[in-house]
Every structure is written in structure tokens, then in C-alpha cells.
Amino acid sequence: MAPKATTALQVDGVCKSYGERRALRGVSFEAARGELLAVVGPNGAGKTTLLGILAGIRDPDQGSVRANGGEIGWVPQQAALYRRLTVEENLRLFARLERAGDPDAAVEGMLAQTGLDERRGDQVSTLSGGNQQRINIAIGLLSEPAVLLLDEPSAGLDPGQRIRLWEFVAGLAEAGTTVIYSTHQIEEASHYGDRLLVLADGEALFDGSFAAMRRAAGARGAVKDPEADFVRFLTKQGH
Amino acid sequence: MKWLLLKDLQILKRSPLLTALLIVYPIVLAVLIGFAVSRGPDKPRIAFVNEIEAEQASEGLDLGEGGFSQEQAFDQLCERVECVDAADRDEAITMVEDGEVLGALILPEDFLDDLTDQIGGVGLDAATVEVYVNEDDPVKARLVDDRITALLTEANLRLSEEISAQLLGYLDILVEGGEFEIPLLGQTIEVLGLERTERGLEAIRGQTSGEQREVLDGVIRFAALAGQNLAFADELLGSVAEPIAVEKTVVSGDVPPLDTFAISVAIAITLMFVTTLLVAGSLALEREENTFARLTRGLVSRAGLLVEKIGLGTICSAAVALVLLGVLELFVSLDWARFPLFAAAIVLAGAAFAAMGSAIGVAAREVRASALAAFALTLPIAFLSLVPSGTVSESLFDWIRVVTGAFPFRPALDALSAGLSSSGDLGLNLFHLAILTLAYFALARVGLRRFA
Ligand SMILES: Nc1ncnc2c1ncn2[C@@H]1O[C@H](COP(=O)(O)OP(=O)(O)OP(=O)(O)O)[C@@H](O)[C@H]1O
Ligand SMILES: [Mg+2]
């Protein structure tokens, strides 16, 4: 299948094993430019492994990943920051390493975006987990990538920050950035995802809209409890 | 690369405990080791050859009360060193060359004769003992010197007291008169003595007159003056020259002066700790902070990251080495004209230790584990590298050379000694360090594939 003109990323039959444990068993999907794709699944489903392969930090045992030009930004699940450096120093270091045209402007932009301007001089180690996560995300955005991979970006954020994050991410998608993020919060995925990729035990069980998944789970009527619908879906699929 | 380097220095600056540990501790350690090394171990092995004929030897040397027997001398020597019997001079020299013993002490055939002559007051030549030392290691070279010098000083002191007493006895006879046994001939003669001469002459003075009396008065005055002045002779005799002299021969080897060696040990130990700990820790930190994956996703290549860490280690180790040299300059004088030479040794040693640190950092998952691994690996190698030849068996020593040659400590030590003074082959050791740097870099690079 040849990639469509609007395809930003194409994934074909990706497999990955850690010794005996098979973390991914032939996952295939496509992501279009400007699409918001949620990878959902329970703990240990293989979400981090999949995003890591898309980011190029590990190689798949089988299968291929093709990007249709542009940078791929990556925000790891665990904050990747220098805890002994200040917020500003971290941002500036990565802005310089990303060869941002104007590192200072990029730093100011991210400080405003994360709302951490008044803590710019504080060492990251003195920040709360949620605030560290904000900087972690900000660094992934510095390169202004064509495809942005976010591994559980909202974990540890307070509701206000969460809304801020998703508004920002939705804005990026509207501007043409392909955003692929993982979460096990089905409500968030239903709210902010155009599309869901359901992963369980390394298998892609479902690829489509939240409404289609509900129908597949046999749920009827108005959405009351998305999580219950999701668990019913998994049970029906034998997970 | 530049930004990463600045970042690492900034992190280092923010970790006062780590910085203190990395800089103060090695300097303290290095200074302590420098001093300890200059003391050396107990009881070096020394081959002993006695060329004196058995018959003559058994008679020993009659020195009245104390006497001077060879047995006693052996006993005294062997209290200080471990004596190894050698059949003859050639065997002893071979033992020294092979590093089996640290030195050889030879009592030549004419030793007792010369000594007897000295004590009899008729000898001109000092009795000579011959010493052969292998000075390929300044610690043990000084050790041998120390032990033999101590023994000979003691022997010389006792002998010169005896000689003085003997000579004073002769003088007493000369002044007071009495029986005198001529040395070596055994004949006894009656000596009048200056005092009795003076008294005898006084007695006959009355029987003379005129010119005869004047002559006689002159002789009497002379006898009185001579008697008085000879009474002061004992003081002068106290300064009798050393009856036993040492003739030292260096068998093989090319020795840096002890100061240089101690400084080299201090710098090598410091570089070893600072650089390996720093680089291993800094690399492990990238993994602990999860930044390794972020960096190597196109921001910097894995090889580039390794080069950055090795550069960091080399810069920091050069800075620490300069501080150390500056401190040591207060105690010993360094030949700053040789700066380019020892600077080259410091930089390449730093690079080799840094490369080894990077390999350790790749193998360890966390900063703490990397520090532990760095200690566990470098300490035994340093100790092994400092084992002097002749203290362990030859085949074991060869194995030690092979093992320590795979690590930067020994070539670093040799390069530093060669850089600080003109002993040893600087170029060869710099080459050795360069090879080790590349080898450890390659090892670390291979290990990094599995790092993420
Ligand atoms: N480095 C590794 N070594 C061995 N097994 C691993 C490794 N990383 C992941 N796994 C295994 O692979 C499977 C998928 O892990 P992964 O981290 O991708 O799951 P996840 O969907 O991200 O889970 P979570 O929601 O908890 O983050 C799990 O069974 C995990 O135990
Ligand atoms: Mg995960």
C-alpha cells in the first residue's frame, strides 16, 4: 500500500521482543498529517515500546517505520532532564542542541507555554513531578517537529495543566503537526483523540474512532462511562 | 559538543560533594601515597658473597674486648635485610640482574687484610665492600642504599673507636713509656717514653754546662712540649676516616629520582580516580536522567557523546594535575623546562583514564554502580602496577606486567616519570596510552549499542 500524500507516518508489521517476552506482535497503522492519534491500552501493553520504535530510539525486530519527511519529536514517559540544571538551563541546552534559530526566543516561548516563567532559575530537582513533566514536554516541542510522539504526557499533571496541554496539542495538530500520544485514560483519548489505536499484549486490537469502538463493544446510548466501555471492549476481545 | 561539555561542567559545579570527592580526596590520597611510597617495604632480599678464605675468616679480627667477627656482621646485616647466600660474585650479579634480589653485598678477598692494616694503623687504603644494585626502581634502589649504609655506618663507628683506642695506646707508650708489641712482627720492645726522657735529661742537666747544657735544655723543652701536645691527640683521633668504604655498581636499569617517582605516583593515582570516576559517573548520569535516549536521537552521535565525555575527563584531569603539581612545587622543585613533556604525559594519561572511565560508565547502569566499578577496577590495578620486580617470583611478575599493560595506570606512571625527568622512554609510553585510549573508546562504543 503506497502512502497517501497526507500520510505523515506509516508503520508496517512491527514486532519487538525483550528476550522471551513479546512486547509487540506485528503492529501496523498509518497516521495522517495533522492527525491526533491516541494509543490506548493497559499497563504493559507495549505503548512505550511502540513509541520508542517510532522515535527511533530502538530498532524493531521485524517490520518498518516510514516517516514522510520532517523531524520526529519525542517526549519520553519518564522525564529526561538534567535535575541539577535549572529550568531555563535545560531548555536553553536542548534549544541549542536542536540548533534552534533563536535559542533565547525558543526558551522564552516554552517558559510562557509551561507557565513556569517564575521558576526559570530553579533547579529541576526542586520542582514537583508534574512541573518536571511540563518541562519534559516543552523540550520535545522545541524542534517544532512534523510528528510529535508523547508518551503519557498528561500523567502527573493537575486538571488545569492537563487542559492547557491538550489545548496546546490540539493547536499543534490543527497547524499540521501529527501527534501520536499514549495513555491509559480512555476518557482523555475519547475527548482529545481523532482516532484510537487500542493495544493489548502487543497486539493492535482496534483502530478507529471512539464511537466505533463503543459499537464494537456493544455499548448503546449516550456515553456515561468511557472506561467501562473500554474494559468491556477488552473483555470481549479476550483480554 | 561544546554545549554538552559546558553542561557537564555546570553539573559538576552544582555537585559540591562530588567535586570535593573527585578532587580533594585524590589529592589527599596521592600525597599520602607519595610519602608512603618513599618509605618502601621492610626487609629487601640481598645476596651475600664472602670471598674471604675460610681459615682467615675463622680467626676473625682481634679488636680486644668487642672483637669484630664476620658472624656478628652477618647477623647484624640479616636483621635488616633478608640474606640470600650466593656461591660467588657472578652468581650474585646474575641474581641482581634478574631481579631475584634487590642487591648484592660482596666482601672481597683482601677485605680482612685491609681492615687489619687499618686497625694496626699501618694501612692506607680503606677496606672496601662491593655493592651491586639493580636500580630499575627508585624505591628499592634507595631501600638497598639505606640498609647497607646503616650497617656500614655502624660498623665504621665501632671500628674507628677501636682504631682510635689502639692508636691512643701507642701514644700513651710514646708519652709514658712501657712495653710495645710491634704489629705483625710480634716482637716486644721497651720504649722509654717522653716523660721519662724528660726526667732523665733533667737529672743529668746539672752535670752539663755551656753549650752542652743549651742543647740539653732544647731537648728537654721539646720532650715536655711533645708530651703535652700528644695528650690532645685523642680528640684528633676521633675523626679517623671511615675504615670501610663502599664501592657501588649499578647493574642495570635507568632510575628516575625518588622525588620524581613519588610525584608520578601521586599524579597517576589522582588522574586515575578523578578521570575514571568522573567520566564513568557522567556517562551513567545520562542514563539515570533518561537524557541519553533524548541526546542520541539525532542531537549527538553515540561516538560524539563518548568523545565529549572523554574530553571532559581529559580537561578536568589536566586541571587537577596542574593543581597537584602546584602544591607539590612547595615541597620539591620541578623542572618546568620539561613542561611540554610532562604535559603531554598528563594529557594522554588523562585521555586513557577517561576512555577507560567511559567503558565503565557504559557497563554500569547508575552513577553509584559506576563509582563502585571504577574503584573496584582501578585500585587493584594500581597496586599491581606498583609491585617492584624482585619482590615476587619472575613468572608471576611477567603476568603482572601483562595484566597491568592492559590498563592505563602503569604506562601513565612510566610516561609521567619519563616526562618529569629523563628516565625511561616517554614516546613508547605515550604510544601505549594512545593505543589504550582508542581501545577503550572502541569498547565503550560497542557497549553503547546496548545502552538505551
Ligand atoms: N527494557 C525492557 N526489558 C524487558 N522487557 C521490557 C522492557 N521494556 C518493556 N518491557 C516489557 O515489554 C512489555 C511492554 O512494555 P511497555 O513499557 O511498552 O508497556 P506500556 O504499554 O508502555 O506500559 P505502561 O502503561 O505501564 O507504561 C511489558 O511486558 C514490559 O515488561
Ligand atoms: Mg509506557
Q: Cell numbers 655498581 correspond to what residue?
A: B249
Mean pLDDT to the nearest integer, A152-176: 87
Q: Is this structure's pTM higher than 0.80? A: no
Q: How far is CA A12 from the centre of its chain?
A: 19
State the best of B2, B7, B300, B367 to mutate against chain A, taking most chain A CBs within 10 Å.
B7
CB-closest option in A79, A93, A96 to B290: A79
pLDDT per position as a tens digit, B146-173: 777 777 777 777 777 777 777 777 778 8
Residues of chain B below pLDDT 50: 40, 63-67, 255
Task: Kindly state whether A94 is in contact with chain B, defined as any CB-CB distance less than 8 angstroms.
Answer: yes
From B433, B409, B437, B413, select the one nearest B423 (Cα to Cα): B413
Mean pLDDT to the nearest integer, A216-235: 84
CB B60 within 8 A of CB B69: yes
Beta partners for residue B131, in sequence order = B105, B248
CB contact under 8 A, A98 and B299: yes
CB B99 within 8 A of CB B144: no
CB contact under 8 A, A74 and B294: yes
Cell of A120: 526559570
pLDDT at B62: 53
Q: How far is CA A33 from the centre of its chain?
A: 15
With a CB cutoff of 8 Å and minimum separation 6, the contacts of B51 are B88, B89, B106, B107, B108, B109, B111
Helices (runs of H) and strands (runs of E) counted in chain A: 8, 9
Q: What b-and-e string marks burial along A210-239, b requiring 16 or more CB atoms within 10 Å of the CB? A: beebbebbebeeeeeebeebbebbbeeeee
Q: Cell numbers 468491556 correspond to what residue?
A: A232
Task: Kindly state whether A44 is in contact with chain B, defined as any CB-CB distance less than 8 angstroms.
Answer: no
Minimal Cα distance from A75: which residue of B? Answer: B294
Q: What element of type H or E holds A205? A: strand A203-208
Cell of B200: 732523665
Higher model confidence: residue B56 or residue A58? A58
Q: What's the N-to-C CA distance of chain B in angstroms? A: 20
> Alpha-carbon distance B447 to B452, whole Å?
10
CB B201 within 8 A of CB B124: no
Residues of chain A found within 8 Å of residue B289, distances taken between Cβ atoms = 80-83
Share of chain A above pLDDT 90, in %: 51
State the best of B282, B289, B367 to mutate against chain A, taking most chain A CBs within 10 Å.
B289
Higher model confidence: residue B54 or residue A26? A26
pLDDT at B88: 86
Which amino acid residue places its CA nearest to atom 6 of ligand 1?
A18
Most informative mutation of A15, A17, A20, A21 for ligand 1 (most atoms within 8 A of CB) = A21
State the DSSP code for B204. Answer: H
pLDDT exceeds 70 at position A130: yes
Mean pLDDT to the nearest integer, A220-236: 85
State the DSSP code for A119. Answer: G
pLDDT at B347: 97
Ligand 2 center to residue B236 CA distance, Å? 96
Cell of A181: 500520544
> Alpha-carbon distance A183 to A154, whole Å?
8
Which range, of A14-28, A85-99, A207-221, B245-259, averages the lowest pLDDT? B245-259
pLDDT at A3: 47
pLDDT at B324: 83
pLDDT at B415: 95
Give the ligand whose atoms come closest to the C-alpha of residue A183.
1
CB A42 within 8 A of CB A188: no
Ligand 1 center to residue A49 CA distance, Å? 6
pLDDT at B185: 65
Min Cα–Cα distance to chain B from A28, Å: 23
Higher model confidence: residue A91 or residue A143? A91
pLDDT exceeds 60 at position A2: no
CB contact under 8 A, A84 and B293: no
State the DSSP code for A86. Answer: B
Cell of A42: 493497559
Q: Tell me the ipTM for this assembly.
A: 0.86
Determine whether the shortest distance from the Cβ of A23 to ligand 1 is under 6 A. Answer: yes
CB B29 within 8 A of CB B273: yes
Residues of chain B found within 8 Å of residue A73, distances taken between Cβ atoms = none
pLDDT per position as a tens digit, A71-109: 899 999 899 999 999 999 999 999 999 888 899 999 999
> Alpha-carbon distance A136 to B437, whole Å?
35
Q: Count the neighbouring beta carbons within 10 Å of the beta carbon of residue A55.
A: 23
Beta partners for residue A208, in sequence order = A196
pLDDT at B127: 76
State the DSSP code for B68. Answer: B
